[in-house]
Amino acid sequence: MRLPSSSGPPLRKLESGLDGALGTQIVSATADEVVLTLAIGPHHLQPYGVVHGGVWAAISETAASVGASINSGSPVVGLENHTSFLRAIEKGEVQAVARPIHAGRSTQVWEVVITEIGGPNRPAARPVAQSIVRLYVLGDRPDR
């Protein structure tokens, strides 16, 4: 996994795979916090015209995986992603902030909060989604 350097450029796109298809960008990433952004477009919506819940789950999974990988110094694999949908939005830009709740040797638990960003009218935006992600730290045991 090509992990971002927190001392690198301020914005780095995850260029390939699902992250590339969605347009997820890394703002910063350390062992204690990962910040991603996503500019909402038509390819993020569900048939009613609001952002598809799978987008929130996907961005939180990426954020937690990047964080747990840096934190553990090891590849990680997701075990569970529980995303709560809090508010429907149709457009704009969002920020996902991931922080570790538990950094064990075998598994880690990260919490991700996704909020709208930008615009002078949104100084303290309520979250649009929140996720709890449990990840398995790969080591000497091959499967999960």
Which residues form the interface with a second copy (CB under 8 A)? 1-2, 14, 16-22, 42-48, 52-55, 57-59, 61-62, 65, 75, 77-88, 101-102, 104-107, 109, 111, 126-127, 130, 132, 134, 136, 139-144
Comparing CB distances to a second copy, the nearer of 47 and 120 is 47
Which one of 15, 61, 90, 111 is the catalytic residue? 61
Beta bridge partners of 133: 81, 110
Please confirm, yes or no, whether 111 is among the known catalytic residues: no
Comparing CB distances to a second copy, the nearer of 16 and 120 is 16
Burial class (CB in 10 A: 0-12, 13-18, 19+), 72: buried
Residue 3 zone, left/alpha/beta (φ > 0; ψ -120 to 50; rest): beta
Comparing CB distances to a second copy, the nearer of 17 and 118 is 17
Provide, rounded to whole angstroms, the least separation between the CB of residue 135 and a second copy. 9
Provide, rounded to whole angstroms, the least separation between the CB of residue 120 and a second copy. 24
Look-up: residue for tokens 């990962």? 34
Coil vs helix vs strand at 139: coil
Comparing CB distances to a second copy, the nearer of 106 and 120 is 106
Backbone angles phi, psi at 70, to 5 degrees: -65, -45
Provide, rounded to whole angstroms, the least separation between the CB of residue 41 and a second copy. 9
- Measured between alpha carbons, how far is 46 from 34 in angstroms, rounded to an integer? 27
| Strand 127-137 relative to strand 107-117, pairing | antiparallel
Provide, rounded to whole angstroms, the least separation between the CB of residue 22 and a second copy. 8
Catalytic positions, written as ranges: 61
